[in-house]
Amino acid sequence: MSDIKTSSEANHLSWQGKLRKIAPYDAFEQIISQILVIIISLIVLIALYKLGEDVISLLIRRAFDPLKHEVFQTIFGGIMTLLIAMEFKHSIIAVARREHSIIQVKTVLLISMLALTRKFIILDVNTLEAGKIAGLAVALLAMGAVYWLMREREAWNVEHGKEEES
């Protein structure tokens, strides 16, 4: 029992020591990151509950037909929303763990591409103008191209032993 308490106290003291060693703004950033992770986790749990509720409701009414566009939109729109929130939470956790000092541009691009992909999944092509669909497609292609270019630059830097610019 005393070993557990000692280990727990050592971890607590270690955490306090780490907190004292970082700059005040970095400590503030860490606290905000942790709060955001908790909030997003709660949102994910609530969204998961609501998605489960929708699926169960569709099953009970025997209306669960993934080939129906409306059902597909509801279910996969919910799933994509959860994936977007989880990816966003993951990027905040990376900041909290000090893996990155700020949210990375690549992560923002990935989240944005997920959000646009979700939009394509749930949109009703009969009610949306062709120009808007084309605009969404161009935006998705542009983000994909930027993401690909960033990955190529990283690969080139690794191959040539160069550091990434901050």
pLDDT tens digit string along 57-95? 887 877 777 677 777 777 888 888 898 888 888 888 877
- Choice between 109 and 61, residue whose per-residue pLDDT is larger: 109
pLDDT at 46: 93
In the predicted structure, residue 100 carries a pLDDT above the cut 90: no
Q: How far apart are CA 62 and CA 78, in angstroms?
A: 19
Q: Once rounded to an integer, what is the mean pLDDT over residues 2-12?
A: 51
Whether 44 contacts 89, CB under 8 Å: yes
In the predicted structure, residue 17 carries a pLDDT above the cut 70: no
Q: How many beta carbons lie within 10 A of that of residue 95, not counting itself?
A: 20
In the predicted structure, residue 164 carries a pLDDT above the cut 50: yes
What's the sign of the alpha-carbon dihedral 66, 71, 72, 75?
negative
pLDDT at 166: 45
- Unique residue bearing structure tokens 């037909």: 65
Q: Once rounded to an integer, what is the mean pLDDT over residues 150-154?
A: 87
pLDDT at 151: 87
pLDDT at 141: 94
Q: pLDDT band for position 14 (50/70/90)? A: low
Query: What's this model's pTM, rounded to 2 decimal places?
Result: 0.61
